[in-house]
Chain A
Amino acid sequence: MTPELGQLALVLALLLSLAQGVLPLVGAWRGNRALMATARPAAAGQAVFVALAFLILVWAFLRFDFSVQYVADNANLQLPWYYRIAAVWGAHKGSLLLWILILNGWTLALAIFSRQLPEAFAARVLGVLGLVSVGFLSFTLFTSDPFTRLLPMPANGADLNPVLQDPGMTFHPPVLYMGYVGFSVAFAFSIAALLGGELEQAWVRWARPWTNAAWGFLSCGIVAGSWWAYAELGWGGWWFWDPVENASFMPWLVGAALIHAQAITEKRGSLRAWTILLSIFAFSLSLLGTFLVRSGVLTSVHAFASDPRRGLYILCFLAVVVGGSLLLYALRAPKVMGGRPFATVSRESALLVGNLMLTVAAAMVMLGTLFPLIADAFQLGKVSVGPPYFGLLFPLLMAPVVLLLPFGPYLRWGKGEGGQLKSVLLRCGVAALACAIVAAFFVGGRLKAVVGVAAAVWVGVGVLLYVAKRWREMPRGRRYPAEMAGMLLAHFGVAVFLVGVLLSESLSVSRDVRMAPGDSQTVGGYQFRFDGIRQTTGPNWHAEQASVTVTRDGKPVDVMHPQKRTYAHEQVQTESAVDPGITRDLYVALGEPMDPARLQGAWALRVYYKPFVRWIWGGGLFMMLGGFVAATDRRFRVRREARERVVAGPVESTAREVRA
């Protein structure tokens, strides 16, 4: 009976989302306040029903209700409770429900915190979110109902894909979705502005923390996914330019561009059309990612169940949402144009260059991701586009961004002066050069590593110089407002990231070895001794576990335990062992036994020495932190309070106050 209640809750949520999507928009168009006022209650009601449906699905997993097909497909009696909860979003249907839940969460937050916005504008924003929700709820109900019954009920279920039975995987999808869906706020905002035909700078200011937070979540989600791939897949890699990874990376790139474009539009009123376009792109790319992942159009290492019928539905949805938005943009964008001109040397132009490079990079990633499809269409044969393409073009496109990054904060809005820039250029340049020369001795002249050190020092010193300048020149308490602190943190993250990527890429040592018990191998100055295999078990798996003793110059470093796990249904999963460190990771993955009949004999092992690899995720976390910190800036709230106070006053004064 309970699963049917879940289904009913989803149907009610769909009806409410229809109300939320249609009535407020009509109300805003007609100037009917009663219709506009339906937006918030509809959003709240919808959130309640979706949450109810989600909890019912969680409950079905917790009490092993195998009469629900989705539960029977993704859990069994041996699966521990925490992975049963994670199994809710372990496959297509449940992850769609999670997406909807998060969309409702963001909508609810928006409904609560949007009281300061003009009534018609808030109604339009919530209406647009309602329409997005209609699309996803009907997608769930008509093609991917998670509550479908399975009769007769099996005694035990299948298993959650063992690849997903990892702590990193339990929170990777929710956090990633927080990011994807978070861009829907900026999107709804832009559509509302286009519909209404005007865009106040104050509204952009109000939208900024939402974009920053969404981007922070997306950064965190990507870091978690990358970390998981590194620890779980046993290849020692952290990024593979796989279609599914690219699907999350494109919105991230455009989101980074959007954050900066919003800053320009909010502070100067310029580039309004561009900001709107980027908002549409960021959310569209999130939807495109869903399409690519769920439709099976592209092949990927991520084994998602795909279904052409679902693909067709998402494609139609994509056509309506993205096509409709871009058409609206084409028709209405001239209405919201405006802003002040700016000089060649100014903060605006620097940000614009960064913006263009990030957007072009996103386009480049999209071209590479879709190229196999283009090749099919034009009969170019089977083509696979991989690291050689991305690995060449991406650094080229990002080089100008890295070069410009230290100057950004020093440039003034409108026009900048050259003098200060020269001193920054000089100091960053000298520091980068000096460190590069020193580093060259340590890395044996490997160019990539030297470039990595130089680029990281260039960016890092640029950021620190600005931190010092603010410290000297500003009174205590006004030195680092949250918005600026966030910016500095994220930029510093770029420096950390550069160290991680370029040093680990160029200095890593990996070796595939055959080792019998007692054998030793030296990799990267560390001695790895294989001490044999023993059997071990977990809640729903048993494993062969190797014992590898690591020493350096005779001193013990660590004993590592890579495993080869066998889950229910004989699914085999490697569990690599990582000895983490700030300057290096040691990484051992267990391969196959040389002789399957003799497990105590020799095994194939893969041993890695990966310097600075941890800095990659460290950099990503700094960027995430930057996004979150910037989102908390009081300025985004304080002015609104000021605005509220003058709402009672004459309309002209409000406008003047906001533009000032």
Chain B
Amino acid sequence: MNRLLPFLGFVALAVLLGFGLWWNRWHDPTAVPSPLINKPAPAFDLPQLDAPSRTISKASLLGHPYLVNVFASWCYVCGEEHPTLMTEAQRLGVPLIGYDYKDAPGDAKAWLAEHGNPYRLIVADRSGRTAMDFGVYGAPETYLIDARGVIRYKRIGPLTPDVIQHQLEPAIAALAKEAP
């Protein structure tokens, strides 16, 4: 019996590896799911970039779905993502809210003036403390939040036309279906 142990151990290993092959046909092994998906978005109350005296809170946005796009003027990849947002944001059918992350307001405004502004409105999180509640890894990131304030989809890294077509649009379509 003892001499069979290595063999039995290997059988268990082979089963595990076989499982891994099967599993990866249906799952993307590189995906890091956010623990917040299908959980209520954290409460926030952030000043607007253009008018710091007025704040936007989670409660004020309830009632219809919206996208939150984390960006910053110091973020190189955000610059690469930006043209996509400029062309695609309009036709998504949900408002796009900019989330200016750890940025000086002057820098952000200059950056938007240069590259264009695809956002319905922009909130500024200078300290990055609220971003921590969202679990932001770094800019750019995008969150889809539904009418009840629940995070339904999250993208780490830039939105590309491909990601929008294959991931974001289906997620938005799913929201539209359950709306009535």
Contact = CB atoms under 8 A, between A and B. Distances in A.
Interface of A: 273, 277, 280-281, 284, 291, 295-299, 308, 311-312, 315, 318-319, 322-323, 326-327, 329-331, 333-334, 370, 373-374, 376-377, 382, 592, 594, 596
Given A322-B10, A326-B6, A330-B7, A373 B19 contact: yes
B137 to A, nearest CB: 14
A592 B77 CA distance: 11
B63 interface: no
A323 B10 contact: yes
17 contacts: A280-B6, A281-B6, A291-B17, A295-B21, A296-B24, A296-B29, A299-B30, A322-B10, A322-B14, A326-B10, A329-B3, A330-B3, A373-B19, A376-B19, A382-B32, A382-B33, A594-B74
B11 interface: yes
A329 B24 contact: no
Given A308-B25, A382-B32, A594-B74, A297 B17 contact: yes
Interface in B5-20: 6-7, 10-11, 13-14, 16-20
Nearest to A297: B20
Contacts of A277: 6
B16 A374 contact: yes
Nearest to B5: A330
A596 B79 contact: yes
Given A297-B17, A596-B79, 8 more contacts: A280-B6, A297-B24, A311-B21, A323-B7, A330-B4, A330-B6, A382-B33, A594-B74
A376 B23 contact: yes
Nearest to B18: A315
Nearest to A284: B10
B14 A315 contact: yes
Contacts of B76: 592, 596
Contacts of A296: 24, 29
Contact of A327 (B7, B17, B23): B7
Given A330-B4, A382-B33, A319 B20 contact: no
A329 B6 contact: yes
Contacts of B30: 299
A377 B24 CA distance: 11
A592 B30 CA distance: 25
Nearest to B4: A330
Contact of B20 (A284, A373, A596): A373
A486 to B, nearest CB: 29
Interface residues of B, number: 25
B3 A333 contact: yes
Nearest to A292: B17
Contacts of A318: 14, 17
Contacts of A326: 6-7, 10
A311 B20 CA distance: 10
Contact of A297 (B14, B21, B32): B21
A331 to B, nearest CB: 8
Nearest to B74: A594
Contact of B14 (A311, A323, A377): A323
Interface string B75-89: 010010000000000
A525 B33 CA distance: 43
A308 B4 CA distance: 30
Contacts of B25: 308
Given A296-B29, A329-B3, A592-B76, A377 B17 contact: no
Nearest to A333: B3
Nearest to A331: B3
Contact of B21 (A308, A322, A323): A308
A334 B7 contact: no
The CB with the most chain A CB atoms within 10 A, among B11, B18, B29, is that of B29
B16 A373 contact: yes
Contacts of B13: 370
Given A297-B20, A297-B21, A382-B33, A319 B14 contact: yes
Nearest to A312: B21
B20 A376 contact: yes
A370 B27 CA distance: 17
B5 to A, nearest CB: 8
B79 A377 contact: no
A298 B20 contact: yes
A25 B8 CA distance: 26
Contacts of A273: 3
Contacts of A329: 3, 6-7
Contact of A370 (B16, B24, B32, B79): B16
Contacts of A374: 16
